[in-house]
Structure 1
Amino acid sequence: MAPNAAGTRRRDPHRRERIVAAAVAVIGEVGLAGFTHRAVAARADVPLGSTTYYFADLDELLDAAVRTVAEENVQRLRDWALALPDDADLSSELARFAVRLVTKHREATVLAYELYGAALRRPALRAASTAWDTMLTEVFQSRFDPVTARALTALFDGLLYQALVSPRTPRRAELEPVLRRLLV
């Protein structure tokens, strides 16, 4: 931040949030391999020292990024669940939601799965990474017994992952029968 006319630095109350948003953007653009303090600082347009001022190390910054992505995805899921009528055909609606996550929200979904995978080697990221699964299971438990809800969470996560790595975009008609098989 440049000094103002009086020679003092202006206050930047949103710098930490900008750094976290930049971290999410960097991971989204270049993956974890390109995730560095330098890349994040450049993206946030802050001095390099700002990233280490707000975050003790790269893992702490990564944890903040994971939490941000998880919160956004959980909010997307909550919004979807709240919009469902009580009599909704959940197989059809879930298939439609999955297609939307891998098309309209593809970048966010890829990022979420990349960070979810990072939790395999970085235990500190696991709590934030599993927020999606926890919320998904809670949504399903509002309509099914706990065992079916957990199975549906695993199936839905697996279908999303397969759809993300597939060379072609999935269609609702392909996903719906798989979901219906579990829910019948």
Structure 2
Amino acid sequence: MTGPAEDNATEPKPRQRRHDPDRRERLIDVALNVIAEHGVAGTSHRRVAAAAEVPLGSMTYHFTGMDELLEAAFNRLAEQTARAFDQAMLRARNPEEAVEAIVGLITGDVLNRRESMVATYELYSLAARRPEIRTITTAWMARSRDALERHFTPDVAVMLDALIEGLTIHRALALDPMPDSTVRAAIQRITAA
């Protein structure tokens, strides 16, 4: 015959839930890393959950499907990049400093960090195939242009925005990237017009 204390010893203890209020945000950040490493095609709930070290069920709890996860990840990427872009333009006190800020964006780490660059190209590729994703790229371009318009006319801001994208891609993919002086000269030609 056993007593009450012995009976309680054999009962399984209730499993405690891990308190992780920022899990959804962390999953979005991890998804960006997975996208950069494996591409959109290689990104899955299972792969993101494993990289985040969370149960697979967390993915379906926080995201209705891969589309929602991809949109959240790409919105995060656009927000992070646009914020850095905004800050660079806010620090510039005049058009000359704005030109140097743009040179720094194109040649520095903000737009050229490998993970964010690869994820950006994945976003562009997905947006080219799926028009609904273009809302992310369209909003991102509008925000970039707004930041540029602090120092330049709307027409010049549009040209600079396209130049920034193009020069960033050229520098990222070239075996011998163009020198900073060429980047600066291109920006100065557009801003002087």
The two structures have a TM-score, normalised by structure 1, of: 0.87
Structure 1 stretch displaced more, 69-78 or 166-175: 166-175
Structure 1 stretch displaced more, 63-72 or 80-89: 80-89
Q: Pick from 104, 113, 118: which aligns with 1:96?
A: 104
Secondary structure of the structure 2 residue equivalent to 1:64: helix
- 4+ long deviations beyond 3 Å: 89-93, 101-104
What is residue 69 of structure 2 aligned with on the other side?
A: 61
**Any gaps of 5 or more consecutive residues in structure 2?**
1-12
Q: Is the 8 A contact 1:23 1:65 kept in 2?
A: yes
Deviation string, structure 1 residues 114-143 (Cα, Å, up to 9, x no partner): 213311112332222233311221122122
State the shift of 1:6 in Å.
4.1
Residue 177 (structure 2) pairs with residue 174 (structure 1) = no
| 1:45-84 paired onto structure 2 within 5 Å | 45-84=53-92
State the shift of 1:11 in Å.
3.1
Counterpart-to-counterpart distance in 1, 2:191 and 2:20: 51
Q: Pick from 124, 132, 139: which aligns with 2:132?
A: 124
State the shift of 1:102 in Å.
7.1
Percent identity of equivalent pairs: 35
State the shift of 1:105 in Å.
2.7
The two structures have a TM-score, normalised by structure 2, of: 0.83
Residue 53 (structure 2) pairs with residue 10 (structure 1) = no
Secondary structure of the structure 2 residue equivalent to 1:34: coil
